[in-house]
Structure 1
Amino acid sequence: MSAALVLLSGLVGLAIGSFLNVVVWRVPRGESVVHPPSACPRCGHAIRGRDNVPVLSWLVLRGRCRDCGEPISPRYPLVELGTGVLFALTAWWTGPEWVLPALLYLVAISVALALIDIDTHRLPNAIVLPSYPVAVVLLALASWNPTGDADWQALVRALIGGAVLYAVYFVTVLVYPAGMGFGDVKLAGVLGLYLGWFGWGALALGWFAAFVLGGVYAVALLARGRAGRKSAIPFGPWMLLGAAFGIVAGEPLWTWYLGSI
């Protein structure tokens, strides 16, 4: 069952990754993600169905448009493959649990938001704001757990975690507005829902890890002369990575820390 779940999740992730390529390109431009159909940005020819198979089509076409022969960025198959791998790893980590749909949704928006933030230094409301109700519904399903014992305390903790992390980032922006934007604040609320659902340790370490990872990256850029003190560095990807760390390792590390003192 678990192997089949991992394989199925990976295949779904490949398809979702193909869609995320569209999201990453169109959402920052305010375009619809469903119409018109995907087309080559250079020659304008619509992409045929057989040329839209994740990863495989890019390999068959040798990374070039069938119509005009212009190169197709390798980022497209990498996003598809990366999303497939992340979906598979998530299914492997959770197993057949009701929290899996919630985490797969988080993985999908994380890929899209990280790439958009790197490209444009923005975290679009079109993705972040709908994630609040979606996350609450999916985490409520996980708390209900139709095939096992319900855990409504986890849902209450999620709601508190979302409010707390939103408030912490909101205060941070007020105190140091040059450090981050309100897009980060809105994303913090979504991540707080997930981190709170997994536990207070996950919430604390997920928040802390984001600043550690972002700080290390900023220092590395400064040391290599690739950024200055006033350079704008997207913080969204580090928030997402920090949340992933908190979800996976936060509670065990928190329990170990409390036990050691």
Structure 2
Amino acid sequence: MPPMLLICLAAALGAAVGPVLVRACWVRSVPSGEPPRSHCDDCGAAPSALPRWRCPGCRRGLGPSVWWMSAAAAAACAVCGWRIGPHPALAAYLAAALAAVVLAATDARVKRLPNAIVLPLYPVTIAVLGLAFLTDRHHGSLTRALLAMLALVTVFYLLALASPSSLGLGDVKLVGVLGLLLGWLSWAAVVTGVFLGFVVASVAGLALLLTRRAGRKDTIPFGPYLLLGALLAVALH
């Protein structure tokens, strides 16, 4: 398959799934410990099971803008299609890219990385990468991916214990999936992804402080920056 065609198909997939991602963000955008949303906060209507982004009762927007979500999903999927190419492993990266858009939007809004989205990525990613490894053992390394997962989970868990106000267990769970995906590519990708995540988070945090959109004691969600750092590492690989 020509590279440009694959990139276009991947971007089209992300754009097409955008409305579904918006609804997933709305359902999951609740404070920790509470059940997922089932009714509109304004009129009490129960939105349809279809991937709508407006309440059928009061027409209130449900979740972030569908256009932004579709654009973000299209860009993330296009990067994966560009760098991974026509290989079975691409399925794992596309699934993670779509989930990443929901996770980033949800964490930015309510400082939460839902287990219902993060945890299923582990068996899906390991299974797809395992099949990809059996198909072509020269494209990536399953062993390195598993080791990177264990290494990042261990390091981030220790960091979360040392500074629970900076890192949460949601970040620890998320970074394990990122370790699998980046470790499949190379150790350099793992280091680059984590490094860029911290750099982007630092720059964004400083910008929020300077613009007074956040205070020194405010907690800034780290998940979106980890995800962006990982995507940049894939792009630079």
TM tier relative to shorter chain:
0.7 to 0.9
User: Aligned partners of 2:212 and 2:178: how far apart in 1?
Assistant: 32
Determine if the alignment matches structure 1 residue 220 to structure 2 residue 186: no
Shift of 1:66: 8.2
Q: 1:182 aligned to 144, 150, 169, which one?
A: 169
The DSSP-based 3-state class of the residue aligned with 2:141 is helix
Determine if the alignment matches structure 1 residue 78 to structure 2 residue 65: no
Letter in 2 for 1:129: L
Contact kept? 2:160, 2:169, Cα under 8 Å: yes
Pairing of 1:129-208 with structure 2 (within 5 A): 129-145=119-135, 149-151=136-138, 154-208=141-195
Contact kept? 1:28, 1:116, Cα under 8 Å: yes
Deviations for 1:120-173, whole angstroms, at most 9, x for unmatched residues?
Answer: 10011111111111111121222223xxx4249700000000000001100111
Letter in 2 for 1:176: S
Count of paired positions: 232
Determine if the alignment matches structure 1 residue 101 to structure 2 residue 88: no
Deviations for 1:63-116, whole angstroms, at most 9, x for unmatched residues?
Answer: x88876667887123212332343234323333222211110111111000000
Distance verdict in 2 for CA 1:72–1:153, change over 3 Å:
closer
Computing the radius of gyration from Cα coordinates, the structure with the larger value is 1
Determine if the alignment matches structure 1 residue 87 to structure 2 residue 77: yes
Of residues 96-105 and 192-201 in structure 1, the stretch that sits farther from structure 2 once superposed is 96-105
Aligned counterpart, 1:55: none
State the TM-score, normalized to the length of structure 1: 0.77
Percent identical among aligned pairs is 37
Contact kept? 1:40, 1:47, Cα under 8 Å: no
Contact kept? 2:25, 2:102, Cα under 8 Å: yes
Distance verdict in 2 for CA 1:77–1:174, change over 3 Å:
same
Distance verdict in 2 for CA 1:152–1:120, change over 3 Å:
same
CA RMSD of aligned residues (A): 3.0
Contact kept? 2:77, 2:97, Cα under 8 Å: yes
Pairing of 1:31-50 with structure 2 (within 5 A): 31=36, 42=43, 44=45
Gaps of 5+ in 2: none
Contact kept? 1:40, 1:65, Cα under 8 Å: no
Letter in 1 for 2:24: V
Distance verdict in 2 for CA 1:44–1:114, change over 3 Å:
same
Contact kept? 1:43, 1:68, Cα under 8 Å: no
State the TM-score, normalized to the length of structure 2: 0.84
Shift of 1:14: 2.4
User: Aligned partners of 2:7 and 2:188: how far apart in 1?
Assistant: 27
Distance verdict in 2 for CA 1:43–1:217, change over 3 Å:
same
Letter in 1 for 2:85: G
Determine if the alignment matches structure 1 residue 236 to structure 2 residue 226: no
Contact kept? 2:7, 2:82, Cα under 8 Å: yes
Of residues 87-96 and 69-78 in structure 1, the stretch that sits farther from structure 2 once superposed is 69-78
